[in-house]
Amino acid sequence: MDSFYYFGYASNLDTTTLEGRLQTKPLKIGIGILPHYGFRFNHPNQDGSARANIVPSENESVYGLVFEIKKEDMVYFLTSEPGYDLVEKEIFTKKGRLNALVFISTETREGLFPKEEYWKVILKGGKESGIPETYLAQVINRVGKI
């Protein structure tokens, strides 16, 4: 296969951010939903702030964007997110179900807060991509500082 699907739920909701990280422009498939997971800011970043993560949660779902990524950009995904595992999950889209790679970390810590510029990129990308406002409000409530 010359490409793979990727489900971005944090800073890669901002398509210009993702495009700047890859050699080849990704093809945006559209909004996807990962059921039975919840969005959290609980992965410890090297600078002491929090990074986004998703955790198993029976009564929640995570919204994100599904992209088709060229195989040659796999190196970025394998090296860019220390402390995360790149795992395949079933994502629901308007076009049906598909399997996509997603970053998940088991390295978590409570009481961490993301940097403002980080959560603002997530919010900007979510709004521009049409992620529901009610979901984005839940993400912002997880910031903990506002």
| Poorest-pLDDT segment among 32-36, 72-76, 132-136 | 72-76
Q: Is 93 helix (H, G, I), strand (E, B) or coil?
A: strand
**Structure confidence by residue, pLDDT tens digits, 12-29:** 999 999 999 999 999 999
How large is the average pLDDT for residues 126-134?
96
146 falls within a domain: no
State the CB neighbour count (10 A cutoff) for residue 69. 22
For tokens 């998940």, the residue is 104
- Which pLDDT score is estimated for 69? 97
Is residue 33 domain-resident? yes
Q: Which residues lie closer than 8 Å to 136 by C-beta, 6 or more apart?
A: 123, 126, 127
Q: Could you tell me the pLDDT band of residue 1, with boundaries at 50, 70 and 90?
A: low
Q: Which domain holds residue 97?
A: 3-141
pLDDT band at 143 (very low <50, low <70, confident <90, very high): confident
Separation between Cα atoms, residue 39 and residue 144, nearest integer Å = 13
Model confidence at 80, pLDDT cuts 50, 70, 90, reads confident
- In the chain, the number of structural domains is 1
What mean pLDDT is predicted for residues 46-54? 95
- Whichever domain contains 50, its CATH number is 3.10.490.10
The answer to whether residue 145 scores a pLDDT higher than 60 is: no
